[in-house]
Amino acid sequence: MHADFWIAVGQIILIDILLGGDNAVVIALACRQLPPNLRTRGILWGTAGAIFLRVVLIFFALTLLAIPFLKLVGAILLVWIGVKLLVPDEEGHGDIQASDKLWAAVKTIIVADLVMSVDNVIAIAGAAESAGGDHKMPLVIFGLLVSIPIIVWGSQLVIKLMDRFPTIIVIGGMLLGWIAGTMAVTDPAVLGHVPTTPPLREGALPEVIASVRYGAGVAGALLVYLIAMLVKRNRKSAAEAH
């Protein structure tokens, strides 16, 4: 019941909202040729399979983040994901194949979601890491439970909100930068070079002092924003040159 836990809960919900929209589009496209009586079953089975695989992926992600330098790699990926959220590529979903067979559609949903969920997995693992303690997997499971209704039912609402309030996307991108910064300074390879507090129990890693962790978070958020603005400016200059 401490603040870090509830901050991480809020971060996971926002990550699910911002990064779940594409998955919802994929589900809709994969099931569009199913008969109406099978469409809901296809969506539910496909989403259930995708969520199960995501739980497995995040479990491994949380385990791997204990290895030196992997949090730094994860932080770099999160910065890239944040920039991509603010400056999206002009890509469609034309390669998503619809099927009129239930299990073919379910397979398409699971495979596509697995490929597209790397950003979601890394972001949720990073947010769960910030809570510390023994709350990581409960947070992950909570985040995924929250993502189910968002992915299945909420995509159109989320897209409309983002169109109406573009600031939501900016905040989301900077949030990923914040998580990247706080993740980077807690990497086992970095802990010896930043101020830390003594471990609370035997065998535990020391914790980075709050001011350093929050400072790294602010730096990560600003880094994502500045890179995104630079990319936008370069794209605009290139477009004007042509």
Region 82-100 average pLDDT: 64
Question: What's the pTM?
Answer: 0.67
153/223: higher pLDDT: 223
| Range in 90-94, 175-179, 194-198 with the lowest mean pLDDT | 90-94
Cβ neighbourhood burial of 111 (10 Å; 0-12, 13-18, 19+): middle
Detail the DSSP E strand segments found in the chain.
Answer: 196-197, 207-208
Q: What is the pLDDT of residue 205?
A: 61
Question: Between 27 and 133, where is the model more confident?
Answer: 27
Q: How many domains does the chain have?
A: 1
Look at residue 230 and tell me whether its pLDDT is greater than 90: yes
Rounded to 5 degrees, what angle do the CA atoms 176, 76, 54 make? 65
Average per-residue pLDDT for the chain:
75
Is the pLDDT confidence value at 233 over 80? Answer: yes
pLDDT, average across residues 158-179: 78
Q: Read off the pLDDT of each residue in 207-229 and give the average, rounded to a whole number.
A: 90
Model confidence band, residue 221 (pLDDT cutoffs 50, 70, 90): very high
Range of the domain at 107: 3-241
pLDDT of 7-42, one tens digit each?
777 777 777 766 666 666 666 666 767 787 777 777
CA nearest to 55, candidates 147, 133, 131, 129:
147
Contacts of 72 (CB under 8 A, 6+ apart): 184, 187, 189, 190
Select the more confidently predicted residue: 215 or 78.
215
- Amino acid identity, position 220: G
State pLDDT tens for residues 97-125.
Answer: 555 677 777 777 677 666 666 667 777 77
Per-residue model confidence as pLDDT tens digits over 36-71: 777 777 777 777 777 777 778 877 877 777 788 888
